[in-house]
Amino acid sequence: MSVTDEYLNNNEGFAGSFTGPLSLAPARHMAVVTCMDARMNIFAILGLHEGDAHVIRNAGGVVTDDTIRSLAISQRLLGTRQIMVIHHTDCGMLTFTDDVFKREIEEETGLRPWWAPESFPDLEDDVRQSIRRIEVNPFLPCTADVRGFVFDVATGRLTEVK
């Protein structure tokens, strides 16, 4: 059985005890921006309930134009007002540089990516960078309550970045 089919099989069990639809707009008016990392079960880490908060995830949990697109829709159409930005220890984004990653792809494919890979050398600095990108963005109406954190994959604990 493929991994996808195994997950579909798991979903049969999930649907069997599913308790029905919730509202589209997040009940707690929260949007979480975090990394795609496989170890981060955000619902468990934050004690989220289904329906509470938007969850936006990409490589690094960095704020790109696509993150801004998602946050603009989240705030303007679905009423979120607060943002948590969460990076984590042992992140893959700490292990390479944009220049090398782009050069390797160009050497293999003949095409240089037109997007920045968004690697970063320092976790806390990049949390601050992500928050700053949100704060100065002209398309987001609610930037007063944005807080940043590092999740420790060894302890499960969040530490706020000031």
Strands (DSSP E) contained in the chain are 30-35, 53-58, 82-88, 146-151, 158-161
Q: How many residues lie near its own copies (CB under 8 A)?
A: 88
Q: Is 121 in the site for its own copies (CB under 8 A)?
A: no
Query: Least distance to its own copies from the beta carbon of 95, Å?
Result: 7
Which residues are paired to 31 by β-bridges?
54, 83
Q: Using CA atoms, how far apart are residues 111 and 96, in angstroms rounded to an integer?
A: 19
**Helix or strand holding residue 23 (H, E):** none
> Does residue 162 touch its own copies according to CB under 8 A?
no
Binding to its own copies by residue 73, rule CB under 8 A?
yes
Kindly state whether residue 56 participates in binding its own copies, applying the rule CB under 8 A.
yes
Among 4, 136, 144, 162, binds its own copies (CB under 8 A): 4
Q: Which of 59, 124, 128, 133 binds its own copies (CB under 8 A)?
A: 59
88 is annotated as contributing to ligand binding = yes
Stretch 21-40: interaction string toward its own copies, x if CB under 8 A: xx-xxxxxxxx----xxxxx
SS3 28: coil
Among positions 125-154, residues that touch its own copies (CB under 8 A) are 138-139, 145, 147, 153-154
**Smallest Cα–Cα separation from 61: which of 158, 159, 150?**
150
Are 68 and 137 in contact by the 8 Å Cβ rule? The answer is: yes
Q: Enumerate the known binding-site residues.
A: 35, 37, 88, 91
